[in-house]
Chain A
């Protein structure tokens, strides 16, 4: 159960470095472990390798976009169980539905304050790992 005792590992996928930086700073400050990816392919590689607790996925990505990346993650048995939070500047309804269809577990429209993202991460991981919150220091 050592794994479960570790802080939540978040894979943060965003092509805009400043946004990655804000969330990395704040989530790390808040005691979470954060790994970054700046495109879809990188996100897939790190997800398969690191098996994070949650993936925060920007949808507009160069190369392999967030929708397709999510679909592949959800198709793969290794990553199927990992919650994916879509975090995007796209505010239209079609985007939200497309994201949920692709397999995203949650859809958040930017701007999203760091503390709100933290709340959502804790909620979604807590649901997946019920005892996780109790063992957090």
Chain B
């Protein structure tokens, strides 16, 4: 019961003297009210408490939703019915509209149709227009209160004038706050949008000062004092660069809207490159400004540089490849063997000059040449096509028979093919090298011929060898036969010698005995005849001895007995033996002997035999004059020479070889003057040879002769 309570506490309600305190109460509560609704609520509460109002509603023009009055606060009205009291101000004739426009508060009484359209129903109400802050404006709102008491009537005009401006101010404040919040939201959104852009965005004023910058732009162009020195310097540099770019942009105008601005990343000092997009904006209030967007093209530049590098490399590679290709062409062309490169379609991609010779023909060439070229092509194509479909080895060789277009001559070819396989394993090309086998075949043919000839030769050699073996065998047999014959000859000669000697022994023996008078005294005549028998017998004996010597030397059965002996003594011995011969002649025999000669090591008997022979020959063939025996030594060759010189008949150069042959004299005629078997010199030369020496002659017909026996001081092989 509010009325009861207020009546009880206030007592003398309605007293005019109390009016000032009542108003003060309302003014105080209105001043502390913060919102329009609170303010209205308090005014209505005051009416209820002080003015005995049971039902009241405060309507105000909020400005939202057009010219209408909306309920702001109420007393005694159900909250859900509040909206029903809204008043459209364009409803002319509406009692509330009239109340609003009335100069002073009015009482509205329900009278038929005029009130029927109001929400007031049949209630009598006091309507109080709430005065606007300024006199010429429309009223702020309206309070409708019931019942219309006299106290209310007294305070109504005052209430209207107090509450109106207050409500207007609060509503305006609320509106302002609302629009400010809205603006803040919008600004926030805009800032988020700008900051969300990764490119730096700036708005600069006409003097180039930054008005607005997004986070990225601030990172590049703004710094705090607490940031590092490097960062601050980077920012300073960036500002300078950016200002310069802007200035350039301003000078060059929008014709060149793209400028590249190199900046430094303050975070890590790396170089960044931006493209500057600037737009000049003109605003009536703000003046001229420039909106700049910096687009980071560092990566783009890097990518471009890389692209250029790639391109350069590509060009280089291409050039290298071209050079390689040229070189390859040169190499391929320099190869004498035809080379062809074929693609999987069987088309010839490349061929060298020798290959062109085989597989291409000029239009003008003869039909014969064309035909051969076509045939070659067909052969090669079928060969190659087989290879493409074959799996397996990358390399293969085969043989194809082509022909030389120029001559028509057959060209047996060895084809060596290599498959060029892509990374995917597909055969992309086939390289074929053709090698002329003509020479090889010729060689093979020659080789076969050679083998055949060799086999023939071998056969012939075999036959010849067999023949040789046969001949050898014959030779061996004949050799054996010869040896046997030789042995037989030696045996025969030995036997002959024996058989000669036996009767000769008797002849000489008997003659000797007769001459010694064993059989009695002899007459001179008998004695002379016996001496001739004796002389001839001895000559016969010497011939037999010579023959035996020759036989023994030839049979290698002449033994040597080597001793050391002085030569002068030997020469004197020989001279004394031939003394009878010298005595019978008129010759002068002299000697020239080097007595200081060292002893000779040889077969004394053989040396003596030779010297006797030479000396007897000299005496025999020298009718008159002299014979000289000279003995000398040659220290250089360590040889001893015994020279027998005479002034005899001499020997013609033609005969100087003959005299050393068996059974020969210079004068071989049956009527020759000089006797002898002609074996002496032959034996002497053989003996000299056996002793390691030699026997030579120097002579001219009619001018005497010099026979020289040269002997080594020691026999060969002597230690």
Contacts and interface: CB of A to CB of B under 8 A. Distances in A.
Interface in A57-86: 60
A23 B502 CA distance: 13
Contacts of A91: 494, 497-498, 501, 545, 548
A118 to B, nearest CB: 11
B544 to A, nearest CB: 9
Given A90-B494, A92-B557, A93-B559, A110 B513 contact: no
B548 A19 contact: no
Contacts of A92: 494, 548, 552, 557
Nearest to A112: B505
Interface string A81-105: 0000000111111100000000000
A111 interface: yes
A113 B548 CA distance: 20
B541 interface: yes
A115 interface: yes
B509 interface: yes
Classify chain B: how many residues form its interface, as a range.
20 to 34
A29 B518 contact: yes
B509 A23 contact: yes
B510 interface: yes
Given A89-B505, A111-B541, A94 B518 contact: no
B552 A111 contact: no
B543 to A, nearest CB: 13
A25 interface: yes
A18 B505 CA distance: 9
B502 A16 contact: yes
B518 A93 contact: no
A22 interface: yes
Interface in A33-73: 60
A114 B513 contact: yes
B449 interface: no
Contacts, number: 71
Given A25-B513, A93-B557, A110 B518 contact: no
Nearest to A58: B502
Nearest to B506: A18
A19 B508 CA distance: 10
A26 interface: yes
A55 to B, nearest CB: 18
B557 A111 contact: no
Report which residue of A19, A23, A92, A112 has the largest number of chain B beta carbons within 10 angstroms of its beta carbon.
A92
Interface string B497-524: 1111111111011101100101000000
B669 to A, nearest CB: 31
Nearest to B549: A91
Given A26-B518, A91-B548, A94-B557, A19 B505 contact: yes
Given A26-B518, A91-B545, A93-B552, A113 B509 contact: yes
B505 to A, nearest CB: 4
Nearest to A29: B518
Given A18-B506, A19-B509, A110 B501 contact: yes
A90 B502 contact: no
A92 B498 CA distance: 10
Nearest to A17: B506
Given A25-B513, A93-B559, A94-B557, A111 B498 contact: no
Contacts of B557: 92-94
Contacts of A16: 502, 506
Given A16-B506, A89-B499, A91-B548, A22 B513 contact: yes
Interface in B465-502: 494, 497-502
Interface in B204-229: none
B501 A26 contact: no
Given A89-B502, A91-B545, A111 B497 contact: no
Contact of A110 (B502, B510, B512): B502
Residue among B503, B537, B548 facing the most chain A CB atoms (10 A cut-off)? B503
A17 to B, nearest CB: 9
A16 B509 CA distance: 13
Nearest to B559: A93
Contacts of A94: 557
A111 B508 contact: yes
A23 B558 CA distance: 30
A22 B494 contact: no
Contacts of B494: 90-92
A16 B518 CA distance: 21
Contacts of B504: 110-111
A3 B316 CA distance: 142
B509 A26 contact: yes
A60 to B, nearest CB: 7
A113 B512 contact: yes
A62 B498 CA distance: 15
Contacts of A22: 505-506, 509-510, 513
6 closest Cβ pairs, A-B complex: A89-B501, A89-B498, A22-B509, A111-B505, A110-B505, A18-B506
Given A18-B510, A29-B513, 15 more contacts: A16-B502, A18-B503, A22-B505, A22-B506, A22-B510, A25-B518, A29-B518, A89-B497, A90-B494, A91-B548, A92-B552, A111-B508, A111-B509, A112-B509, A113-B508
5 contacts: A19-B506, A23-B509, A26-B509, A93-B552, A110-B502
